[in-house]
Amino acid sequence: MLARSFYLDPSLDFFYSTFLTVVAILSVPVVVVLFTVILTQTPKYMRPLRLYLLNISFWHFLDSFVVAIVWRPVNLYPLPCMGFNGALRFLGVYFARFLFHVRSVAITNVYVAIIACFIYRWAQLRGKTNFLMVRCKRSAKRRSELPRNVTLIAPGTVIRLLFQLLSSRRGFAIVLGVHLVFVLYQSLLMVTFYVDNSRTLNPLPKSPSLLALVAEEEGLMCYSMQNIFSPIFIYAGIAVAIAFTVSVCVLIVLIQLPFWGDLRSKVAVKTLEMHRTLTLSLVLFAVIHILFKAIPVIVGVYLSLGSDFYANLVGLLCIAAEAVEPLLSGLATLILIVPYRRALRNLFSYIVGLYKKNILYLGWTQKSSSAVRRIHSIT
């Protein structure tokens, strides 16, 4: 019964592989444009914020791209065959593992920036001299160019020292190493489950389909997970989900607190807008993550019980959710990061200009191009 409700139609293998590969390839230019906008449109005094955006975008893209191309999200399929209670327990473990995910590292970067912001703000307001801004004054050409009150992410301050580990090449390598260790640990854990259960359980019938072979392995894991789950995972998952939601709400308040007294400055208003877009990006990441992964699985539990047709439908839904999620989150983040979409429009005009310069300009003459410029100047 377990194998019957768990198997997917082998004819879906081609669609499965093609769909994931195409979406993963389409997400590459989106991420490239996203990185370009972050690097070119973020002000220089917001360097740690720029590094943070690159950090969270890179890890999110790398994780989703590797899952879509190499790993294949078949690990979502055991959820329907576990029943509603088993699905809730698995989601509890999933949210618990979210703490150790690389996104938690990126969120930690924001908290470090917030703590450093309040430390620096307190030192600036309580101190008689702005001793933390000495290096900024030395590097500034004119004293009037230096923001007076907006000092959250100014280069050369204490924030740069706190971000040195998280944003430097060495810190980036450390984060990468820790992430690879967790991936290796999870892989070894899954292999251990498969080896232990293959010795005690009768393996599922073999199939020439590659997807079915992977499904057999996941089916054994599904059976083993029903035995190792305990109720504490349910409460842990709920606690982690609530903590993550509260942390995002607190983040919304803390990011904007230091700037409430600096709204008269144009630089402060621009910085506040950037931090609001950053907060919206975090919230959007969480919403897309939950909508495209948790909700389809919970709904699929009721649809897939006792029907191969609905099981295949839920499988396709999980495939689409896992594959489209990085593409949608990248596009949404790209729209949110660019204030009022002006930078995106400028980037598009720049790309079109390069296309005209390198391809269309071969057929133009200097006279015709100058005439076109005069027409544009008149209009």
Q: Quick one: pLDDT at residue 221?
A: 41
Sign of CA dihedral 61, 62, 64, 69: positive
The percent of residues in the chain predicted with pLDDT above 90, rounded, is: 0
Q: What is the pLDDT of residue 108?
A: 43
pLDDT at 34 over 50: yes
Q: Which structure tokens are listed for 275?
A: 């931090």
Cβ contact 314:303 at 8 Å: yes
- Rg for the chain, CA atoms, rounded: 26
Asked whether residue 209 carries a pLDDT value surpassing 60, the answer given is no
- Most confident of the ranges 16-20, 113-117, 292-296, 298-302: 16-20
pLDDT reported for residue 24: 58
pLDDT at 368 over 50: no
Does the pLDDT at position 42 exceed 60?
no
195-207 tens-digit pLDDT: 444 444 434 333 3
Q: Are 136 and 156 in contact (CB under 8 A)?
A: yes
Residue 17: is its pLDDT beyond 50? yes
The pLDDT score that the predictor gives to residue 112 is 45
Do the beta carbons of residue 319 and residue 19 sit within 8 Å?
A: yes
Distance in angstroms (rounded) separating the CA atoms of residues 142 and 138:
9
Mean pLDDT of the chain: 48
Predicted confidence (pLDDT) at residue 304 exceeds the cutoff of 50: no
Each residue of 282-299: pLDDT tens digit?
Answer: 555 555 555 555 555 455
Please tell me the predicted confidence (pLDDT) of residue 15.
57
Which of 59-68, 70-79, 101-110, 189-198 is modeled with the greatest confidence?
A: 59-68
> Could you give the angle at the alpha carbon of 94 between the alpha carbons of 93 and 95, nearest 5°?
95
Name which of 204, 193, 195 is nearest 226 in CA terms.
193
CA distance 145 to 141: 7
**What is the distance between the alpha carbons of residues 128 and 143, in angstroms, rounded to a whole number?**
18
| Per-residue pLDDT band at 77 (split at 50, 70, 90) | very low
Out of 187-196, 286-295, 315-324, least confident range:
187-196
Q: Mean per-residue pLDDT for 339-356?
A: 52
- Average pLDDT estimate for 42-53: 54
pLDDT category at 268 given cuts 50, 70, 90 is very low
Going by C-beta distance under 8 Å and a sequence separation of 6 or more, which residues neighbour residue 265? 147, 148, 149, 150
Alpha carbon distance 304, 316 (integer Å): 12
What pLDDT digit, counting tens, does each position of 132-166 carry? 333 344 444 444 433 333 333 333 343 444 444 44
DSSP letter at 209 equals -
Residue 364 is predicted with a pLDDT of: 38
Spatial neighbors of 253 by CB under 8 A, at least 6 apart, are none
Number of H helices, E strands in the chain: 15, 0
DSSP classification of residue 133: G
pLDDT of residue 331: 54
The two most distant CA atoms of the chain are separated, in Å, by: 83
Q: Identify the band that residue 8 occupies on the pLDDT scale cut at 50, 70 and 90.
A: very low
- Is the pLDDT confidence value at 22 over 60? yes
Q: Is the pLDDT of residue 25 over 60?
A: yes
In our burial notation (b when 16+ CB lie closer than 10 A, e otherwise), range 282-315 reads bbbbbebbeebbbebbeebbebbeeeeebbbebb
- For the chain, how many residues are written? 379
**Distance of alpha carbon 84 from its chain centroid, rounded?**
28
- Which pLDDT does position 182 carry in this prediction? 47
Average pLDDT of 246-251?
48
pLDDT of residue 151: 36
Residue 189: Cβ-neighbour burial (10 angstroms; 0-12, 13-18, 19+): exposed
Res. 239: pLDDT tops 50:
yes
Nearest to 154 by CA among 170, 176, 130: 130
Alpha helices in the chain (DSSP H): 2-6, 12-41, 47-66, 78-81, 83-98, 102-126, 134-139, 158-167, 169-200, 210-228, 231-256, 266-304, 308-337, 342-358, 366-378
Question: Mean pLDDT over residues 67-93, rounded?
Answer: 47
